[in-house]
Amino acid sequence: MEFGRYLSVIVTPFHEDLTINYEEMLRIANRMIDGGVEGLIVGATGGESATLTLAERVQLTKFMKETVGSRVPVIVGTGTNNTAASIETTKAIEEAGADGILLVSPYYNKPSQEGLYRHFKAIAESTSLPVFLYNVPGRTGVNLTPATIARLAQVQNIYGMKDASGNMDQLTQLLRTVPEHFRVYTGDDNLAIPALSIGVYGLISVAAQVAPAPICQMMQAFREKDLSKAAQMHKDLFPLLDVLFIASNPVPVKVALNLMGYRAGGVRLPLTMPSKAQAEAIAQVLVQQGLSESAEVPEELFV
């Protein structure tokens, strides 16, 4: 199965009582797909996977497959820092109908490269679904090296990976190391054009939740070899790409979506909404980008 070159995570919207707002999730998803997003990553770290129950992840998977699964692939985050729990989650998500899974590197316990290899291999071998690895050392405290990824690329159903290391040297080495069939996506919106220029397959975006069409147009310009247009769009979008990481993801995205009129709701503890200054910075950029008409921030969007 091919998953496209322009994928995006999607937040998990909550009602005021922090139960999942499925209606609003569908509304956000449809806008993203209409804007060019080719696949959605559901219930992953950007969807607050750490505070979702397994039952909630299963229900999210079924809901998204039923509502948008005929339009785009639905990839679900099932990785944790517990291999056995990740296998259990993966099996439940496969049964729920997912098209693929995303496995974040184990966090906090800082396994060795051999431990990482065995962790991912064991989960991949427990499922028939395509597997995306996810390396984000700034959040997990451990880096998945190109050599280990090259070993994992030999596992039959490990399809590719999302690299959010922010390290262009490592990304270049990774592209030199992995086999041609292995799909490398950058997970850093601010590095999309530089990463595409050295050969990554595509983008797994965060900002696509806020500005799906402009990012799609930027990537299209690059594919059509209109590099000056792609570079200019990258520079124009940069303030948005930057401010969406002013606090821990997905907090800024939820603030932005709320300001744009979507009922994305708040976040579950231990996350909180950002400071007033951070929320105001997000609001100002949205106005500058033409995504919102007012820079005023309601009190419920900051702490």
Say which DSSP state 107 is in: P
Place of tokens 């989650």: 89
Q: Are 229 and 221 in contact (CB under 8 A)?
A: yes
Say which DSSP state 249 is in: T
Q: The tokens of 287 are what?
A: 């106005």
- Which residues are CB-neighbours of 146 under 8 A, at least 6 positions away? 170, 173, 174, 176, 177, 178
Say which DSSP state 99 is in: S
Helices 22-34 and 54-68, packing angle to 10 deg? 50
CB count in 10 Å sphere of residue 275:
13
Q: Cis ω on the peptide bond leading into residue 250 (within 30° of 0)?
A: yes
Burial category of 298 from C-beta neighbours within 10 Å (exposed 0-12, middle 13-18, buried 19 and up): exposed
Element (H, E) at 40: strand 39-42
Task: State the Cα–Cα distance between residues 298 and 296, nearest whole angstrom.
Answer: 7
* Positions marked active-site: 134, 162
Query: From residue 241, how far is each of 136, 253, 289 by CA, in Å?
Result: 17, 10, 11
Q: Are 137 and 171 in contact (CB under 8 A)?
A: no
